[in-house]
Amino acid sequence: NTLLAARVVDHKPSATRDFDEVKAGIEDYLKLEKAKALAVKKGESVLADLKQGKNAANLEWIPSVTVDRHNAQGLSDTVMSHVFKIDASKLPAFAGIENGNKGYTLVKVVDVKNGTEVSDDDVQAGRSSLQAALASEYEAAYIESLRKKSDISINTKLLMNSAEQ
């Protein structure tokens, strides 16, 4: 129930743009691609040195952070998916991840904590959640079995009349 009227004031047909118009954008794109390639090359060489036990010059690590599957501490999804695949049998462990347009990310794993420790509150919350889910399923199955056993018809006209009152 809405009417919209529009008047075309100016129309420009589609056309290719001049090279001078797109030159700056192309230069920026090519610089970004070259910088990304250089970052990946430099990152892979530093990673190879770190894995051989050499100390990488001019490499500054951010302060250590503890990450888990629910708290990424600002790391991207790409980095997080690779972090948990790192072989931590010998620590410190290193990995390098090509991080899309953000460059190359070096990761250093210094400690691995097993997440098997569960508090009593978490266990109790899990039990109550499981009991609630089971009760809901039992109730739904019981109601469904009653519906199958009995011949029930719902008079929707009567329900509609009572809702209007």
Each of the 165 residues of the chain gets a pLDDT tens digit; together they read 899 999 999 999 999 999 999 999 999 999 999 999 999 999 999 999 888 888 877 788 888 888 887 788 888 888 888 888 888 888 888 999 988 777 888 998 988 887 667 778 888 999 999 999 999 999 999 999 988 898 878 788 888 776 565
Q: How far apart are the first and last CA of the chain?
A: 29
DSSP string over 85-101:
TS--SSSSEEEEEE-GG
pTM: predicted TM-score of the whole model, two decimal places: 0.55
Looking from the CA of 134 toward its CB, the CA atoms found within 13 Å total: 6
Chain-centroid distance, C-alpha 108: 21
Q: Are 96 and 104 a contacting pair, CB within 8 Å?
A: yes
Helix (H) or strand (E) holding 43: helix 19-51
Burial 30-44 (b: 16+ CB within 10 A, else e): eeeeeebeebeeebe
Six token digits for residue 25: 């954008």
